[in-house]
Structure 1
């Protein structure tokens, strides 16, 4: 009889303990708040590549601060050539880049079988015609020496700019990918055209009559863009773009990058810190 009573008491204690644990667990579960439907998801850390100089500055000073206000963590990755930024983007080492115009992006992607896509164009440093000897186009003397970039991409832009301002005319059938000074059809002032490496051009401004200097090299040499005799009337195809992998074009971070660049805060940063940059048509029309 005593054994039966003891067994009953033990069973009662076990049931009581189980009930208490169950109640405690239910109590704990009830105390944990359910995530609200509008809860903010944590934004990712992004790596944005850019060539050292004005475009890494643009990411650091005009894009990064606004993206970080949106909750992103941004790391700026600097490159010193025009090959690695796209390869790094394609292999996932970085999430976006800013250094190239759309023509270069499409050709490089096709040549290297990369699937990359532009997000939006940005204000871009224009080429300029610089001189320490002449202040206006009208002052340029016959037979003056004119230093120009020797790579086809920059030379094509140079000759189109010189044609646009009335200094030369270019053959209509000139191939932009193989263009040279031999494609100049008319040269009324008999300028002596001297092709040089683009990076050397800022140094020639002091030693030659005239020099056409691409904007990024001018800024790297601490030149004032607004001191040019004439700045390029930039074709939209030559404006630099933010690029991502095509698979990411609809990703939220790509949409946020586009929204940031379209924001008044971004344009204000450009006006204050990137004087002389040529704005894309979409921005100029706002």
Structure 2
């Protein structure tokens, strides 16, 4: 009996030691876990914004601000399409987040028909439209019956005719609806000028075949034509500012606001003035 009691007590002692060791090991493990630093929250992820643009000067201006946007956590992806007319459909279908190639009159001339609902997020620059020729050196040399190429889209066609009117070459009918004038709306054409309506992007190529053409500056720059060679052009007060457009409601997105802010900063104004001179005029 005494022997059994001794064995029982010995077993209890062994179990006590094992149990105490387990508790200590558990405490030690818990202490090690609690001593480890808490996991750090993931850094803010970079936001990618796709902006569709004309090649010159729009894409060049956007590429200029890319490094600054990168510092703000915005990866600006500049999308250039072969056909600029597809930049509005691309914005409508959410293939891009914004576009930068058009002025309000052009947008308004197509928006209703196409069902667009866009908003201007930033007013950036004016490209004064101008009259160019490879055959004459001044407007006074225009002969009777001379042929002039003008843009074939409604807003820029009206704009071209208004420029010719401002330079005394014709007079439009009174009460012509804004942005909708065509050569049929000319009331007085003393030189009996003839007009050829041409796709805006093809106007520079038409120069050898006409006596002159009224061309948007971005196409002049793309064709490596000196914008200073225009016989006459719009002044800096032109209402045709090129804007950053977004789908209505997106103008409140923080990344869009930041792009608009940097796009209209003093640094961009200086870049435009230094790089393009009279060809592109800041509108802010």
TM-score normalised by length of structure 2: 0.85
Residue from 16, 22, 32 that aligns with 1:14: 22
Moved more, 130-139 or 182-191: 130-139
Q: Cα distance, 1:223 vs. partner?
A: 1.3
Structure 2 residue matching 1:256: 3-state secondary structure = helix
Q: Cα distance, 1:260 vs. partner?
A: 0.8
Q: Tell me the residue number matched to 1:3.
A: 11
1:122 aligns to 2:124 (yes or no): yes
Give the alignment of 1:47-66 within 5 angstroms: 47-60=50-63, 62-66=64-68
- Retained in 2: the 8 A contact 1:152–1:176? no
1:9-49 CA-partner distances (Å, limit 9, x unpaired): 22211211121122112211xx34877xxx98443122221
- Retained in 1: the 8 A contact 2:156–2:179? no
1:52-74 CA-partner distances (Å, limit 9, x unpaired): 443223322x3323323433222
Structure 2 residue matching 1:123: 3-state secondary structure = strand
1:180 aligns to 2:182 (yes or no): yes
Q: Tell me the residue number matched to 1:165.
A: 167
Unaligned runs of 5+ in 1: none
Moved more, 250-259 or 67-76: 67-76
Q: Tell me the residue number matched to 1:131.
A: 133
Structure number with greater Rg is 2
1:275 aligns to 2:280 (yes or no): no
TM-score normalised by length of structure 1: 0.84
Change (3 A) 1:243 1:167: same
Q: Cα distance, 1:190 vs. partner?
A: 2.7
Q: Cα distance, 1:230 vs. partner?
A: 0.8
Q: Tell me the residue number matched to 1:93.
A: 95
Equivalenced residues, count: 276
Q: Cα distance, 1:177 vs. partner?
A: 5.5
